[in-house]
Amino acid sequence: MEGVKAEAREGAAVAQDLLALGYGGVPGTASRGASCPDFRALCVRLAAELATLGALEQQREAGAEVLSAGDGPYAEEDFLRQLGRLLRELHCPDRALCGGDGAAALREPGAGLRLLRFLCSELQATRLLRLRSLLDPSPRPPLGEGVVEGAGMVQELGLTLQALGLPRPAPGTPASQLLQELHAKISELQPFLPPGSLQPLLSYSLDAPRWEALESLSQSLRDQYRCRRYLLLKRLDLTTSAFHWSDRAEAQGEAMRAVLIPIREVLTPESDISIAHVLAARADLSRLIPATSMAVRRGTCCAINKVLMGNVPDRGGRPNELEPPMPTWRSRREDGGPQCWGRKKKKKKKK
């Protein structure tokens, strides 16, 4: 009975998310998972908007589909294969959905609703990030007392409120009241998330000595990665400058600089990772997957892996073919006579 109520609450939450995003309600056959054409079509629409907004890391050709619903006999199989690749690319924390047997996972009770909930949350976050880039960066009046960080903090707080479906607070609202409202809303939505999805990576409480140790470790890592990034940027500069040495680059020099300079100016040796990222990290971030595993290779395997390299220029490296030949070792005396290896005594001069 409790499971039925929980699934009903999850369905209502997913329906609310879909309506907020401008999509229709949850398909009545969502419990059938990937075997339902309506369910596959809804997932395809959500994934297509994610790709349009730039939420996916892998670049795809124009017109290429992220997911395809299909109607043929192998439509469900193709959909599940593409879905697994999409979920791994989005770093889905639900291990059951990202596992090898996606068909069996989606047939479990509530699995289809969990998948829709994840895609809706990713789409909401992607829309907010897109909105953030389009917002006017000019400073806005502060939302609460003591806000002196400028428009950056105000924008982040406004986007957080919008993501949770809360109205924008009136100017002068105390920051403590805003945090209480955020905490209450997050506590209300937390039971609908997959179990363990918000487990923090840093599970220990931090007292004053631990804060100092964490800050010292963070500063040490920043210094180390600054040196590494500086070395990589120096290599990048030398590599790009080498392209200008050819005769053909003389005519295309200005065009090459016009493309490279804007990209290079953004790259700096300083890292933007701070302690705040450690506190916000989830436990699934520490899950390491080998890049050569079968599950990962399903998403990274492509046609170029089967291309064999042709003939390459001879770079030498064979000392036995050098001319003149290398000198060979031979004994000092070839007659085989005895040799005295001791030190010869100097003869005394007669007076």
> Which tokens sit at 35?
């075997």
Decide: 105 and 80 in contact? Cβ < 8 Å: no
Per-residue pLDDT of the chain (351 residues; tens, 9 = 90+): 566 677 777 778 888 888 888 887 666 655 566 777 888 888 888 888 888 887 776 655 544 567 777 677 677 777 888 888 888 888 887 777 776 666 667 777 778 888 888 888 888 888 888 777 766 454 444 444 444 444 456 666 767 777 787 877 776 677 677 778 888 888 888 888 777 777 888 888 888 888 889 889 999 999 999 999 999 999 999 988 888 887 777 788 888 888 888 888 888 898 888 888 888 888 877 777 777 777 777 777 878 888 887 887 777 777 777 676 666 777 666 555 555 555 555 555 555
Q: Provide the pLDDT for residue 227.
A: 94
> Which tokens sit at 284?
């699934």
Question: Residues 163-204: pLDDT tens digits?
Answer: 787 877 776 677 677 778 888 888 888 888 777 777 888 888
Instruction: Please report which helix (H) or strand (E) contains residue 97, including its range.
Output: helix 95-98
Q: How many CB atoms lie within 10 A of CB 155?
A: 17
Round to whole Å and give the CA distance between 217 and 275: 10
Instruction: List, in order, residues 6 or more apart from 302 with CB less than 8 Å away.
Output: none
Q: Provide the pLDDT for residue 343.
A: 55
Please report, for the chain, the start and end positions of each structural domain, with discontinuous segments joined by +.
Answer: 1-135, 208-282
Instruction: Please report which helix (H) or strand (E) contains residue 294, including its range.
Output: helix 294-300
Cα distances (angstroms) measured from residue 346 to each of 342, 343, 349, 350, 351: 12, 9, 9, 12, 15
Q: Provide the pLDDT for residue 151.
A: 47
Decide: 276 and 202 in contact? Cβ < 8 Å: no
Q: Provide the pLDDT for residue 143.
A: 42
Comparing CA positions, the residue from 160, 159, 158, 141 lying closest to residue 150 is 141
Q: Provide the pLDDT for residue 226.
A: 92
Comparing CA positions, the residue from 246, 247, 18, 9 lying closest to residue 124 is 18
User: Which phi and psi (to 5°) does residue 144 adopt?
Assistant: -145, 175
Q: Provide the pLDDT for residue 142.
A: 44
Question: Residues 211-232: pLDDT tens digits?
Answer: 889 889 999 999 999 999 999 9
User: Burial level of 226, CB count in 10 A (0-12/13-18/19+)?
Assistant: middle
pTM: 0.41
